[in-house]
Structure 1
Amino acid sequence: MILNGKHITVLGGGIGGLATALACAQRGAKVRVLEQAEAITEVGAGIQVSPNGLRVIEALGLAESFKAISVQGRAVSLRDHRLGREVLRLDLGLLPADQDYRFVHRADLIDLLASRTRQAGIKVRLLQRGLSVTPGAPASVELANGDRVKDDLIVGADGLHSVVRPALNSAAKPFFTRQVAWRAIVPNVTGHPNEAWVHMGPGRHLVSYPLRGGSMVNIVGAEERIAWAEEGWSHRGDPDQMRWVFAGFGGPIRGLLDQVNEVSLWGLYRHPVARNWYGQGLALMGDAAHPTLPFLAQGANMALEDAWVLATCLDKESEQDQALAMYQARRRDRVARAIAAANGNAWKYHLRNPLVRGVAHLGLGVMGRLAPAKMLHQFDWLYAHDVTASG
Structure 2
Amino acid sequence: MTQDMPHDDVVIIGAGIGGLTLALALRERGIGATILERTAELREVGAAVALSANATTLFRRLGVLDALEEVSWAQSDLIFRDGRTGATLGRTPVGATYRARFGADYLGVHRADLQRVLSEAVGSDRILMSRHVTGLREEGAHVLIDLADGSRRTAGVVVGADGARSLVRRWVVGHDDAIYSGRSGFRGIIPTEQLSELPDPHAIQFWIGPTGHLLHYAMGGEGQDVNFLAVSRTPERWPADEWVVPARDEEKFAPFAGWHPAVTQMLGAVEVTQRWALMRRPPLPTWHRGRVVLLGDAAHALVPHHGQGANQAIEDTWALAEELATADPRDPTAAFEAYEGRRRLRTRAVQFASWQVAEVLHLPDGPEADARNAHMGSSSYFEDTLAWIHGYDPTHDSGIRPGRLSR
In 2, Cα distance between the equivalents of 1:96 and 1:89?
16
One-letter amino acid of the structure 1 residue matched with residue 332 of structure 2: Q
CA RMSD of aligned residues (A): 2.3
- Give CA deviations for 1:257-291 in whole Å, capped at 9, x if unaligned: 22112453111222112222123221110111111
- Aligned-residue identity in percent: 28
Kept in 2, the 8 Å contact 1:235–1:265? The answer is yes
Kept in 1, the 8 Å contact 2:213–2:231? The answer is yes
- Residues 38-49 of structure 1 correspond to what in structure 2 (within 5 A)? 38-43=40-45, 45-49=47-51
Kept in 1, the 8 Å contact 2:170–2:176? The answer is no
Q: Does 1:107 align with 2:119?
A: no
- Give CA deviations for 1:284-314 in whole Å, capped at 9, x if unaligned: 1011111110111000000111112111111
Q: Does 1:270 align with 2:280?
A: yes
Q: Does 1:255 align with 2:265?
A: yes
Q: Secondary structure at the match of 1:228?
A: coil
In 1, Cα distance between the equivalents of 2:160 and 2:350?
21
Of 215, 223, 228, which aligns to 2:224?
A: 215
Q: Secondary structure at the match of 1:313?
A: helix
Report the CA distance between 1:203 and its aligned residue: 2.1
Q: Secondary structure at the match of 2:33?
A: strand
Q: Which residue of structure 1 aligns with residue 157 of structure 2?
A: 153
Q: Does 1:144 align with 2:154?
A: no
Kept in 1, the 8 Å contact 2:45–2:111? The answer is yes
Relative to structure 1, the CA distance from residue 106 to residue 229 in structure 2 (aligned partners, 3 Å threshold; closer, same or farther) is farther
- Give CA deviations for 1:23-60 in whole Å, capped at 9, x if unaligned: 11222222111111111221361211011011221122
In 1, Cα distance between the equivalents of 2:325 and 2:190?
43
Report the CA distance between 1:358 and its aligned residue: 5.4
In 2, Cα distance between the equivalents of 1:174 and 1:11?
20
Kept in 2, the 8 Å contact 1:181–1:221? The answer is yes
In 2, Cα distance between the equivalents of 1:179 and 1:135?
38
Kept in 2, the 8 Å contact 1:99–1:383? The answer is no
Q: Does 1:283 align with 2:289?
A: no
Q: Secondary structure at the match of 1:64?
A: helix
Of 346, 350, 360, which aligns to 1:334?
A: 346
Kept in 1, the 8 Å contact 2:188–2:229? The answer is yes
Kept in 2, the 8 Å contact 1:230–1:266? The answer is no
One-letter amino acid of the structure 2 residue matched with residue 154 of structure 1: V
- Residues 94-133 of structure 1 correspond to what in structure 2 (within 5 A)? 94-95=97-98, 97=100, 98-118=103-123, 122-133=125-136
TM-score by length of 1: 0.90
Report the CA distance between 1:216 and its aligned residue: 1.1
In 2, Cα distance between the equivalents of 1:312 and 1:194?
37
- Give CA deviations for 1:201-223 in whole Å, capped at 9, x if unaligned: 11200001111122111110111
Report the CA distance between 1:17 and its aligned residue: 0.9
Kept in 2, the 8 Å contact 1:286–1:306? The answer is yes
TM-score by length of 2: 0.87
Alignment gaps of 5+ in structure 2: 1-6, 398-407
In 2, Cα distance between the equivalents of 1:232 and 1:87?
36
In 2, Cα distance between the equivalents of 1:44 and 1:276?
28
Relative to structure 1, the CA distance from residue 203 to residue 314 in structure 2 (aligned partners, 3 Å threshold; closer, same or farther) is same
Q: Which residue of structure 1 aligns with residue 367 of structure 2?
A: 356
Kept in 2, the 8 Å contact 1:231–1:268? The answer is no
Kept in 2, the 8 Å contact 1:157–1:285? The answer is yes
- Residues 361-376 of structure 1 correspond to what in structure 2 (within 5 A)? 362-364=373-375, 367-368=377-378, 372=379, 374-376=380-382
Report the CA distance between 1:114 and its aligned residue: 1.1
In 1, Cα distance between the equivalents of 2:247 and 2:116?
26
Q: Which residue of structure 2 aligns with residue 79 of structure 1?
A: 81
One-letter amino acid of the structure 2 residue matched with residue 103 of structure 1: G
- Give CA deviations for 1:299-342 in whole Å, capped at 9, x if unaligned: 00001111121111111344522111111111111100000000
In 1, Cα distance between the equivalents of 2:12 and 2:159?
5
In 2, Cα distance between the equivalents of 1:252 and 1:53?
30
Q: Which residue of structure 2 aligns with residue 316 of structure 1?
A: 326
One-letter amino acid of the structure 1 residue matched with residue 118 of structure 2: L
In 2, Cα distance between the equivalents of 1:273 and 1:38?
32
Task: Answer with 380-389 or 13-22: which moved more.
Answer: 380-389
Q: Secondary structure at the match of 1:142?
A: strand
Relative to structure 1, the CA distance from residue 232 to residue 45 in structure 2 (aligned partners, 3 Å threshold; closer, same or farther) is farther
Of 195, 201, 210, which aligns to 1:202?
A: 210
- Give CA deviations for 1:148-201 in whole Å, capped at 9, x if unaligned: 110111111112232222332243533222211111111212364321110001
Q: Which residue of structure 2 aligns with residue 380 of structure 1?
A: 387
In 1, Cα distance between the equivalents of 2:113 and 2:80?
27
Q: Which residue of structure 1 aligns with residue 233 of structure 2?
A: 224
In 1, Cα distance between the equivalents of 2:47 and 2:371?
31
Kept in 2, the 8 Å contact 1:44–1:185? The answer is no
Task: Answer with 43-52 or 163-172: which moved more.
Answer: 163-172
Relative to structure 1, the CA distance from residue 229 to residue 360 in structure 2 (aligned partners, 3 Å threshold; closer, same or farther) is farther
One-letter amino acid of the structure 1 residue matched with residue 232 of structure 2: E
- Give CA deviations for 1:76-133 in whole Å, capped at 9, x if unaligned: 1110011211111122244351142111111110111111111xx6421111111111
Task: Answer with 287-296 or 36-45: which moved more.
Answer: 36-45
Task: Answer with 282-291 or 184-193: which moved more.
Answer: 184-193
In 2, Cα distance between the equivalents of 1:337 and 1:361?
20
Alignment gaps of 5+ in structure 1: none
In 1, Cα distance between the equivalents of 2:282 and 2:46?
27
